[in-house]
Chains A and B, each alone.
Chain A
Amino acid sequence: MADLFDKFQPLIDQYEALRGSGLRDPFHLQMDEIKSPTRAVVNGREIILVGTYNYMGMTFDPDVIAAGKKALEEFGSGTTGSRVLNGTYQGHAECEAALREFYAMDHAMVFSTGYQANLGLMSVMAGRGEYIVLDADSHASIYDGCAMGNADIVRFRHNSVSDLEKRLNRLPAEAGKLVVLEGVYSMVGDIAPLKEMVAVAKAAGAMIVVDEAHAMGFFGENGRGVFEAAGVEDDVDFVVGTFSKSVGTVGGFVVSNHPKFDILRLVTRPYVYTASLPPAVVACAATSIRKLMSAHHKRAHLWQASRKMHADLRGAGFELGTAEAESAIIAVKMPDQQTSAAMWTALIEEGVYVNMVPPQATPGFNLLRCSLCAEHSNEDVAEIVARFVRAGQAVGLPVSA
């Protein structure tokens, strides 16, 4: 009898080899205590968290915690229902109101995760005979949403304006088109040339989605994202985002000015056929979003810390994913998977957690991805860099303080 698990054997072998090499398993790290947005306890030792996407450090904000506790007590632990049945509470409406205000847009729709927001939007907005045109490096949730729908899917080379334009020009002029962009691409933390891309997409008559998951909170005057910083707010049809990064809880959303936007609540399956977010979660999110509107000092510090860490790691001899700090993500390139795993383990021994990104997620690259938090102090950044240098030297990389 065929064992349906046989197809996973190559991956099982690879994973067993990694575990058998004496290195720590980077994919099953357990955090026993969380002290703050930047500190956790693992195996009885405190480590600095440098890979959490908790950009604005809102997870322990006292106002956010208080709002969550209050909602938990007043509205219970869960809604046990879909948004279109019994799962829309006052808190969900309040959360959508906070989003409309944050983005200065007419409509907002909250999903149970960011993944589902993309899954829903991509699967429903373009149908048979229509086109979704996406960046080759798009997030898995965008690809999965495309696979769930019936549109023809067209890829362009990552961040290439000319390649996007060339492909748009090959499509039938009269066909419906959706161009999908991301403000910040999470693998190496580079940003999209949105001004140019939006112009090209508009010229081709396409509607435009920008996923600002890794930019919300600290790009643009109001923290809306790269599309705000690029000055293209009036030309973007949909902005997708998440509560699981800068907002500091879990959930996803789409905001738009389109007058017919609300019909999506009835036709988007990842919105309709799942339970809505728990009351405490939407209360935390709404409070956090409102605080992010005016978090100018935090934004400024996060940028300064990101630039400083990028410059110091580069100065120490590490090879980085971008020439300058384009976002709060700093990706450190490793020569091979073995060194990457050894370096990740050495960093944990030093008391630093980063994300180890295997080449399956970023073909051709072995990355150790760092993301900074507005709560990382200048002393934290200096300490992180010092620990990186010691760990690098321990695994034989040509780096020095």
Chain B
Amino acid sequence: MTTTKEEVLPRLIDIIQPFNKKDIELTAATSFANDLELDSLTVMDLVAEIEDEYDIILPVNMLPDLETIGDVASAVAEIKSK
């Protein structure tokens, strides 16, 4: 079964919303570091939430490549499609 980035995105944004302390608009282009300004502990919590929602593993070593919400949506879709 293949999953696409577009299918993942709306639900992913719902999961990220509680971490959106600055209440900015969340899109595929939103950057975790620059726009959401998440600290390392918060990132850990968010990653765990995403992993549990999709029943996947997002390895820590993959995280530096995931700059935006769209990057995460693509990664989740790719892992789910494997």
Interface residues of A (CB under 8 A from B): 131, 136, 146-147, 151-155, 157, 163, 166-167, 170-171, 363-364
20 contacts between A and B (CB under 8 A): A146-B60, A151-B61, A152-B57, A152-B61, A153-B60, A153-B61, A154-B57, A154-B60, A155-B44, A155-B47, A155-B48, A155-B60, A157-B48, A163-B48, A166-B52, A167-B51, A167-B57, A170-B51, A363-B39, A363-B41
Closest partner residue, chain A, to B45 (CB atom): A157
Q: Given A157-B48, A167-B51, A170-B55: A364 and B60 within 8 A (CB)?
A: no
**Contact of B40 with A147 in the complex, beta carbons under 8 Å:** no
The distance from the CB of A176 to the nearest CB of chain B, in whole angstroms, is 14
**Contact of A146 with B61 in the complex, beta carbons under 8 Å:** yes
Q: Chain B contact residues: over half helix, strand or loop, or mixed?
A: helix
> Which residues of chain B (38-80) have a CB below 8 Å from chain A?
39-41, 44, 47-48, 51-52, 55-57, 59-62
**Contact of A154 with B41 in the complex, beta carbons under 8 Å:** no
Bound Cα distance A249, B56 (Å) = 44
Bound Cα distance A171, B59 (Å) = 11
**Contact of A170 with B57 in the complex, beta carbons under 8 Å:** yes
Please name all residues of chain A whose beta carbon is closer than 8 Å to the beta carbon of B39 when the two chains form the complex: 363
Interface residues of B (CB under 8 A from A): 39-41, 44, 47-48, 51-52, 55-57, 59-62
**Contact of B44 with A136 in the complex, beta carbons under 8 Å:** yes
**Contact of B40 with A363 in the complex, beta carbons under 8 Å:** yes
**Contact of B41 with A152 in the complex, beta carbons under 8 Å:** no
**Contact of B56 with A154 in the complex, beta carbons under 8 Å:** no
The distance from the CB of A130 to the nearest CB of chain B, in whole angstroms, is 11
Please name all residues of chain B whose beta carbon is closer than 8 Å to the beta carbon of A171 when the two chains form the complex: 57
Closest partner residue, chain A, to B59 (CB atom): A152
Please name all residues of chain A whose beta carbon is closer than 8 Å to the beta carbon of B62 when the two chains form the complex: 152
Bound Cα distance A147, B59 (Å) = 12
Interface centre among A131, A151, A155, A171 (most CB of B within 10 A): A155
The distance from the CB of A303 to the nearest CB of chain B, in whole angstroms, is 32
Closest partner residue, chain A, to B44 (CB atom): A136
Please name all residues of chain A whose beta carbon is closer than 8 Å to the beta carbon of B48 when the two chains form the complex: 155, 157, 163
Please name all residues of chain A whose beta carbon is closer than 8 Å to the beta carbon of B41 when the two chains form the complex: 363-364
Q: Given A136-B44, A363-B39: A147 and B57 within 8 A (CB)?
A: no
Bound Cα distance A343, B41 (Å) = 26
Bound Cα distance A154, B79 (Å) = 15
Q: Which 3 A-B pairs have the closest CB atoms?
A: A363-B41, A152-B59, A153-B60
Please name all residues of chain B whose beta carbon is closer than 8 Å to the beta carbon of A166 when the two chains form the complex: 52
Bound Cα distance A163, B51 (Å) = 11
Bound Cα distance A170, B54 (Å) = 11
Please name all residues of chain A whose beta carbon is closer than 8 Å to the beta carbon of B61 when the two chains form the complex: 146-147, 151-153
